[in-house]
Every structure is written in C-alpha cells, then in structure tokens.
Amino acid sequence: MKILQLCKKLPYPTKDGESLAIKHLSLALKDAGADISLLAMNTKRHEVKEAIPDKQTQHYSKIDSC
C-alpha cells in the first residue's frame, strides 16, 4: 500500500506533540508494510533550515517540502 502523508509542517526535529504524532504514525504505517511519502510545508513560522538526519527519515521513501 502506498501512502502520501500530508503535513502542515515538517515533523523534524521532534520537539512538540504534533511532530511526535506525525513521526509515530508514519513509523506504525511502515511497520504495517506501507510505502510512505511525505509532503510537508516548510513555513516561516516552523521553518527547518538544518539538514534532517537520515536516521530520522529512513522510513520515508520520498520527502518533499514547499
């Protein structure tokens, strides 16, 4: 099963409840056998400028942000 996870912000770094929920939901779907892609907004309010470590995002097959 292929899943596109749409988020209003990037779930990394995991510093609040929303980020943790997004991360754990995607990990659970991956464990269930899903192929997960992430499409997230990178707005000025929740901007992520630093590179996200591969270890934290390895469960996604593709990550795009706008």
Q: What is the pLDDT of residues 4-20, one digit of tens each?
A: 999 998 888 888 899 89
Domain total of the chain: 1
Q: Which pLDDT does position 53 carry in this prediction?
A: 66
| pLDDT score, position 1 | 93
| pTM of the full structure | 0.81
- Domain containing 42 equals 2-65
In the chain, pLDDT over 70 holds for what percent of residues?
89
In Å, how far are 16, 23, 45, 57 from 61, measured between CA atoms? Answer: 24, 14, 26, 9
How would you classify residue 30: left for phi > 0, otherwise alpha for psi between -120 and 50, otherwise beta? alpha
